[in-house]
Chain A
Amino acid sequence: MKPRTLLAMFIIPMGLIIAAVPQNKTKPYKLTADQLLAEVNTRTQYITPDAVADMIVKKDPSLRLIDVRSQEEFEKFSLPGAVNIPVNDLLSDKYTDILNQDVKMNVFYSNGSLVANEAWMITRQLGYINNYVLEGGLNYWFDAIMNPQKPSTVNSDEEFAKYDFRKSAGAALGGGGVVASTSEQTSASPKPAIKPAAKKKKAAGGC
């Protein structure tokens, strides 16, 4: 028998089988419920507004803020440089490159921390790393960074240092007496186009 015929007799039936069966589209969970619960209890996914503000002010390139609220809310106000991934679209393939990587530090935020935490739990269960949640969400962000309360004189020096930092960070970020609804200054900052980071978790490029 000719080799070509032999090859055809082998690959045509294989092709027919693979064409006939449905694709395996399951997204396997990488973490069991127990593992996730243990991680949730450590609360290590939270990152404080102070740390985030510090990174924004220093223009730390490893920080990537991800706004998990709806697009309308995102357009009304967002933190500087944030990208918008509404939690409903979290599993969309086009965002996998952003969420599943080990180069940048992704910080989810929503108004409170509830929705951001949901996003974190889903991505974490898929085995993604380097995703975090802004503690307290935007509400706490405004209290802490944009309108910090001057500590009373009985507080420690540490409190004052924190206050000074928050005040200057808030000023640098366009805050300082500015309330959420009127802080166009911040939201007007140019938003970077969504650019996929190097796929490290997926094996890096070939030839």
Chain B
Amino acid sequence: MTKSKERKVRPYINPYVGGVLLGLVLLAANFVSGRGLGASGAIKSTVVTAMNTVAPEASANSGFVKEFGEAHSGSPMKTWLVFEMMGVLVGGFLSGALAGRLRFKVEHSPKITSRRRLIFALAGGVLFGFGSQLGRGCTSGSALSGMAVLSLGGFVTMMAIFGTAFALAYFFRKNWI
């Protein structure tokens, strides 16, 4: 699928400028709330809420829900990360609207079908979701925010994520190039 040239799409900003801006957002997050950014935490909140709603008895016995309850008081949806992720949806949408990038599409390499791309996206999502729980945070929460506060775990996770992806890149090259 080649991209349509008829739509006027603003180019992306310079990555270093983007990086500095992202760094300032991260700094603001630390200054305001004493923590970095995150994403998978919001998903965890939602899953915990769903488990509590659908099967309250089973979930009350789950170590996963218990562990979450120990770290968070109050409703699992009324947490910092849930609000932050709602902001991400709004912010991403605003930026896409300004740059003229709002469009429903499945992005993939011309060598593969949309169907294959979606299957891989689902599988990747499952693995990432699982890994983010085991590793106590995803690329934003553990790796990026962890690096900013010089956390040893953040650096280890960052190297494990990017190292593994690099090592396996060859086997999945058809999906991307």
In the complex they form, do A and B come into direct contact, defined as C-beta atoms under 8 angstroms apart?
yes
Residues of chain A at the chain B interface (Cβ within 8 Å)? 3-4, 6-7, 103, 197-198, 200, 202-207
Q: Is the CB of A7 within 8 A of B41?
A: no
A197–B69 alpha-carbon span in the complex (Å): 12
A151–B9 alpha-carbon span in the complex (Å): 89
User: What's the minimum C-beta distance from A112 to chain B, rounded to whole angstroms?
Assistant: 34
Q: Is the CB of A205 within 8 A of B33?
A: no
Chain B 31-68 near chain A by CB (<8 Å), digits 1 or 0: 00111111111000000000000000000000000000
A6–B40 alpha-carbon span in the complex (Å): 34
Q: Is the CB of A206 within 8 A of B142?
A: yes
Instruction: Look across to chain A and name the residue whose beta carbon is closest to the beta carbon of B41.
Output: A207
A203–B29 alpha-carbon span in the complex (Å): 11
| 5 CB-based A-B contacts, threshold 8 Å | A198-B72, A204-B79, A205-B137, A207-B39, A207-B137
- Asked if A200 meets B73 with Cβ closer than 8 Å, knowing A3-B17, A207-B138, A207-B145, the reply is yes
Instruction: Look across to chain B and name the residue whose beta carbon is closest to the beta carbon of A4.
Output: B16
Q: Is the interface of B mostly helix, strand, loop or mixed?
A: helix
Q: Is the interface of A mostly helix, strand, loop or mixed?
A: loop
Residue of A3, A198, A204 near B14 (CB, 8 A) is A3
Q: Is the CB of A207 within 8 A of B132?
A: yes
Chain A residues near B17 (CB-CB < 8 A): 3
The reply to whether the CB of B81 lies closer than 8 angstroms to some CB of chain A is yes
Q: Is the CB of B16 within 8 A of A3?
A: yes
Chain A residues near B34 (CB-CB < 8 A): 202-203
Residues of chain B at interface, number, CB under 8 A? 30
Instruction: Look across to chain B and name the residue whose beta carbon is closest to the beta carbon of A198.
Output: B71
Q: Is the CB of B16 within 8 A of A204?
A: no
User: What's the minimum C-beta distance from A103 to chain B, rounded to whole angstroms?
Assistant: 7
Chain B residues near A198 (CB-CB < 8 A): 70-72
Q: Is the CB of B71 within 8 A of A206?
A: no
User: What's the minimum C-beta distance from B63 to chain A, rounded to whole angstroms?
Assistant: 14
User: What's the minimum C-beta distance from A165 to chain B, rounded to whole angstroms?
Assistant: 31
User: What's the minimum C-beta distance from A23 to chain B, rounded to whole angstroms?
Assistant: 12
Residue of A7, A200, A205 near B136 (CB, 8 A) is A205
A184–B141 alpha-carbon span in the complex (Å): 47
The 10 A-B residue pairs with the shortest CB-CB distance in the complex, in nearest-first order: A207-B141, A207-B38, A203-B34, A206-B141, A207-B137, A203-B35, A206-B38, A198-B71, A3-B16, A7-B16
